[in-house]
Amino acid sequence: MSGILLTLMSLTVSANLHCAVRREINPCTCRQEEFPSSVNTQAQTAAATVVASTGGSVNANNNAGGGTHHIGERIEVTCEKMKSFDQLAEALSGKFTPEQQITLRVSHSNLRDISHHDFKQLRMSITRLELNHDHLGVLDGDVFAGLGRTQYLSLADNEVPSIPRHILSHLSLLRTLDLSRNRISRIDSDDFKYNPTLQHLAMAGNAISEMTPGSLPPLVKHLHVGRNHLNSLNHTLRDLNQLEWLLINSNELTSLDGELPSSGHNLKMLYAADNRLTHLPAEFRYLHRLETLFLQHNKIRNLDGTLQKARRLKFLELSYNELQELNENDFIEAEMLEDLELGHNSLKSLGGADGDGNGSSALYPLRSLKCLNLTHNELREFSLASLRGLRELRLLDLSSNRIARLHRGRLSSENLVEEDEEIAGGNIQDLRLQHNELRRLDSSLFLGMKELQRLNLSHNALGPTIGPRNLRGLDGLRVLDISHNQLTTLEDTSDTWLPSLEELNASHNRLVTLSGRDFRGFPVLCWADVSMNQIRTLMPELVANTRCTIHGVPDVLRIYLQDNPVLCDAGLADLTVALEVNHAKVYGVGSDCPSTTTLAPPMAIELTSALPSEPLPLLLGRVELAAAAAAASGGNVSFAATLE
């Protein structure tokens, strides 16, 4: 796409200018484009390619002839909040020459008097006409006489009650028609009989409940009838063999059997989300050019091999359905699929693979898969061996399942670190495992996953510790979330060397102590959240081997201690100074602190003995004031403020 846009920019040697009559057409405004006609055709060709990719439309320059020195001209005219069509005519009539191609946009205006006028009054060669939010209802067809060069018409966001065929009879060159968000209730057989070359048709957001067979233009490429009241397509699409994009979302469709184009070789995108579909039609087996498929928010229970031959499919959205299992052949030829969204279903398995990943998983053929979303299903175990061969996979979301066992499965080699050995899931960068039922992690689970940068293990039942071998091999890990578990210590976790870890979330656990060993395996840690624990002891050696570095620039390690008993300890004021010497700050406010006379002395002695031998008078003075303020207020104070 970027290459096409660059080509278009290089071909169109044009400049946006204020048009010469900008003052005379007040309150309307205008903008002018000029370019040599010799490059005009090439530029339009590139623009048409962009249009085909984005679903838009393009105005062609219909000026015939002209040599390399002929100057073509397009002008965009915009009018807003016009009080009447009479005001519009007064502002624009006779201000432009017939050779100038005009795009006219009139929006948020009151054009109820349009039936007493016509566009001939404007004396403009309008190639693109947009009348949006203009309170248009029943329209007289003669009003649009004189628009024989118009290729694009938008009447969206009005009150049009039916397809305005009497208007369309004057627009023989029409390529794009937008009637979205009106009050149209049906499409009849003669509605588009004057527009056989219509290619882009949008009628979304109406009240259409019926379409008559044969009513749609035969050459239409992009069709949008989403957000209507259709319970059947009534075989209206069978002869639309040029159809490339079809949007039928947010209707009441229960089946697509026998409804798609009989020769669907051109269909690239189907958006059928938010209907009542229970299955996919057999015709899907023959949609060989299908690239994008949206089927979320339906009631689909299985795929039945309908997508086996979707060789060009790149994006598949099946979230919020009723899928219970995948079969090993469901994606057998879908080797180009990059994004597979299967969240919010009832999946219990991913094909024929057993618990160790042996056998044929439905995922095996997906060699190009980059994103796999399985959130909110009913998986009870998962083997990374089922990802074997998915070398492009970057994001795996297994959150909100019932996974109690996560394992690597049977490995194809004894040597796990051999360079040529393929590690299943070895290229994953983001792994989401939150909200499952994990109680422990296998020691070799993450071995070889050197590309993993974000790991979320929150909201499980891990504890009382994560062993020194459980996180082995995660040299590239930057963010680790182990919050909302049952951990009582981080000592064993820090025995694992995580040289890239920048963020650690261990909040909402059962931690009691932060010792000098707890962060020693995290040399560049910058952010540590240990709030909502039971921490009573905090040692200054905690940060002795840690130096926060962001993109090579030294920074401060921030430790969040909200709602921990240690914030009520009088000795914490001295500790903050010791931590600052090692470039660390403590944040948090103690709550429900007892009187300072009831604090146990061992903690205060331990913290004081750890202070630097050389006093820091200025800092200590501020800390002593903070401690005095804390005592006067009952022991509740934010220590982050004392370090700013």
Read off the pLDDT of residues 579-615 as tens digits, 9 standing for 90 and up.
Answer: 998 899 999 987 778 765 444 443 332 333 333 333 3
From CA 232, how far away is CA 222, in angstroms rounded?
19
Q: What Rg do the C-alpha atoms of the chain give, in angstroms?
A: 34
DSSP string across 214-246? T-S-TT--EEE--SS--S--TTTTTT-TT--EE
Task: Give the range among 107-111, 442-446, 521-525 with minimum mean pLDDT.
Answer: 442-446
Task: Give the range among 51-60, 350-359, 477-486 with minimum mean pLDDT.
Answer: 51-60
CA atoms within 13 A on the CB side of 602: 3
Mean pLDDT of 17-38: 75
With contact defined as beta carbons under 8 Å apart, do 444 and 419 qualify? no
The whole-number pLDDT of residue 72 equals 58
Kind and range of the H or E run holding 8:
helix 2-11
Name the residue type at position 424: A
The whole-number pLDDT of residue 130 equals 98
From CA 412, how far away is CA 13, in angstroms rounded?
60
Which of 327, 336, 335 is CA-nearest to residue 306? Answer: 327
Three-state DSSP at 373 gives: strand
The answer to whether the peptide bond before residue 218 is cis (omega within 30 degrees of 0) is no
Residues facing residue 305 across a β-bridge? none
Domain extents for the chain?
2-55+69-144
Whether pLDDT at 520 is above 80: yes
Name the residue type at position 452: L
Percentage of the chain exceeding pLDDT 70: 80
pLDDT digits (tens, 9 = 90+) for 41-75: 433 433 443 333 334 433 333 333 333 333 458 99
Which of 625, 636, 637, 525 is CA-nearest to residue 583? Answer: 525
CA atoms within 13 A on the CB side of 374: 24
From CA 333, how far away is CA 46, in angstroms rounded?
32
DSSP string across 420-474? TPPPTTTT--EEE--SS------TTTTTT-TT--EEE--SS---S---TTTTTT-
In the structure, what pLDDT confidence band is assigned to residue 462 with cuts at 50, 70 and 90? very high
CA atoms within 13 A on the CB side of 555: 14
Q: Which residues contact 352 (CB under 8 A, 6 or more apart)?
A: 327, 328, 359, 360, 361, 362
The CA-based dihedral angle spanning residues 395, 436, 434, 472, taken in that order and rounded to the nearest 10 degrees:
-70
In the structure, what pLDDT confidence band is assigned to residue 574 with cuts at 50, 70 and 90? confident
In the structure, what pLDDT confidence band is assigned to residue 21 with cuts at 50, 70 and 90? confident
Q: Look over the chain and give the mean of its residue pLDDT values, rounded to a whole number.
A: 83
DSSP string across 124-143? -EEEEEEEESS---S--GGG
From CA 432, how far away is CA 481, in angstroms rounded?
10
Kind and range of the H or E run holding 53:
helix 37-54
Helices (H) and strands (E) in the chain, counts: 8, 31
Higher pLDDT, 257 or 638: 257
Please provide the distance, in angstroms rounded to a whole number, between the alpha carbons at the two ends of the chain: 49
Look up residue 616 and give its two tokens: 């820091």
Instruction: Give all strands (DSSP E) within 3-124, no chain letters.
Output: 15-17, 29-36, 71-80, 101-107
Backbone angle region of 325, left / alpha / beta, with phi > 0 → left and psi within -120 to 50 → alpha:
beta
Whether pLDDT at 440 is above 90: yes
Whether pLDDT at 9 is above 50: no
pLDDT digits (tens, 9 = 90+) for 86-134: 999 999 999 998 889 999 999 999 999 998 899 999 999 999 999 999 9
Work out the burial of residue 623: count CB atoms within 10 Å of its CB; fewer than 13 is exposed, 13-18 middle, 19 or more buried. buried
Name the residue type at position 359: G
Q: Calculate ∠ Cα 48-49-51, nearest 5°.
A: 60
Task: Give the range among 59-63, 75-79, 137-141, 209-213 with minimum mean pLDDT.
Answer: 59-63
The whole-number pLDDT of residue 550 equals 87
